[in-house]
Amino acid sequence: MKEDVVKQTKRYFGFFALMTNEKMDAITALTLYRNKDLVEKAFGNIKERLNLRRLLVSSEKSLDGKLFVAFVALIYLSYLKKQMQDKGMFKDYTMQSLLDKLDVIECFENPGHDLRVGEILNKQKLIYEFMGVETPS
């Protein structure tokens, strides 16, 4: 093993460079860089969870509607991320695992009847309470 090469390489462990054409401090640049991953995951959620991988629509109005729903969904995802950060939930969940926990709640709607929500587990109730959202009933 070449000790001098290993030592030279280890010198930069944990350091990386970010370049930008805008003036900002290091913390802002790092925060923006780390949020890039959130945006990529959000688009993944739009493609998978909202089934927008292919925009199979028959009219421009349908396309507008699908894109609007995707936009609103991104707003909700941003809100969830902010709430998770503020409440310290990232120590127990990732965004994906939180959404997966809540994704299994079923909802039934019959015309002329009230909306019925399937069984909600205690863990799911705790998530709703922790997020400051009323548990569906």
For residue 102, which of 61, 53, 135 has the smallest C-alpha distance?
Answer: 135
The answer to whether residue 84 scores a pLDDT higher than 80 is yes
The answer to whether residue 24 scores a pLDDT higher than 80 is yes
What is the pLDDT, as a whole number, of residue 137? 77
**For residue 59, what is the DSSP state?**
S
Q: Over the stretch 87-129, which tens digit does the pLDDT of each residue have?
A: 888 898 888 888 888 888 888 888 888 888 888 888 888 888 8
The one-letter amino acid at 11: R
The answer to whether residue 42 scores a pLDDT higher than 80 is no
Band (pLDDT 50/70/90 cuts) for residue 82 is confident
CA angle 17-22-28, nearest 5°? 60
Instruction: Tell which wins on pLDDT, 4 or 16.
Output: 4
Write phi, then psi, for 116 (nearest 5 degrees).
Answer: -115, 130
Band (pLDDT 50/70/90 cuts) for residue 57 is confident
Segment 72-87 shows an average pLDDT of 85
CA–CA distance, 124 with 3 (Å, rounded to integer): 53
For residue 117, which of 127, 107, 125 has the smallest C-alpha distance?
Answer: 107
Token pair recorded at residue 85: 């950060």
